[in-house]
Amino acid sequence: MIRISAVSYLNTLPFIYGIENAGFLKPEEYILSREIPSECAKKIENNEADLVLMPVAVLAKHNYNIVSDYCIGANKSVLSVLLVSQCSIDNITDVLLDYQSKTSVNLIKVLAKFYWNKNFNWIDAKKNYENKIVNTTAGVIIGDRALELSDNYKYKYDLATEWNKFTGLPFVFACWVTNKNLDKTFLSNFNKSLNWGIKNINNIKPHYNRLTDDFVKNYFKNNIEYKLSEKMHEAIALFIKHLQEV
Q: Give me the DSSP letters along the chain.
A: -EEEEEE-SGGGHHHHHHHHHSSSS-GGGEEEEEE-HHHHHHHHHTTS-SEEEEEGGGGGTS-PEEEEEEEEEESS--SSEEEEESS-GGG--EEEEPTT-SHHHHHHHHHIIIII----EEEE--TTGGGG--TTEEEEEEHHHHHHHGGGSSEEEEHHHHHHHHHSS-EEEEEEEESS---HHHHHHHHHHHHHHHHTGGG----BTTB-HHHHHHIIIII-EEE--HHHHHHHHHHHHHHHH-
Q: What pLDDT digit, counting tens, does each position of 171-214 carry? A: 999 999 999 999 999 999 999 999 999 999 999 888 776 788 88
Question: What per-residue confidence (pLDDT) applies to 159?
Answer: 97
Q: Are residues 63 and 45 in the same domain?
A: yes
Q: Looking at the predicted structure, is the pLDDT value of residue 75 above 80?
A: yes
Closest CA to 29 of 189, 199, 175, 176: 189
CATH of the domain at 45: 3.40.190.10
Do 46 and 88 lie in one domain? The reply is no
Q: Is residue 235 part of a domain?
A: no
pTM score, whole prediction: 0.92
* Residues 91 and 163 occupy one common structural domain: yes
- Classify residue 238: in a domain, yes or no: no
Residues with Cβ within 8 Å of residue 188, at least 6 apart in sequence: none
The residue from 141, 167, 193 where one domain ends is: 167
Does residue 141 register a pLDDT over 80? yes
> Number of structural domains, the chain?
2
Would you say residue 127 has pLDDT above 90? no
Q: Lowest-pLDDT range, 18-27, 50-59, 109-118, 156-165?
A: 50-59
Over 90: is that where the pLDDT of 101 sits?
no
Q: Domain of 225?
A: 2-73+171-229
Residue 237 within any structural domain of the chain: no
For 62-74, write each residue's pLDDT tens digit.
778 899 999 999 9
Q: Could you tell me if 32 and 20 are in contact, meaning their C-beta atoms sit under 8 angstroms apart? A: yes
Cα 160 vs. chain centroid, distance in angstroms? 10
Q: What does residue 35 show for φ and ψ, rounded to 5 degrees?
A: -140, 170
34-60 tens-digit pLDDT: 988 878 888 988 999 999 999 898 887
In this structure, are 54 and 97 located in the same domain? no
Do 161 and 195 have their domain in common? no
Residues 183 and 62 in one domain: yes
Flag whether 128 is in a domain. Answer: yes
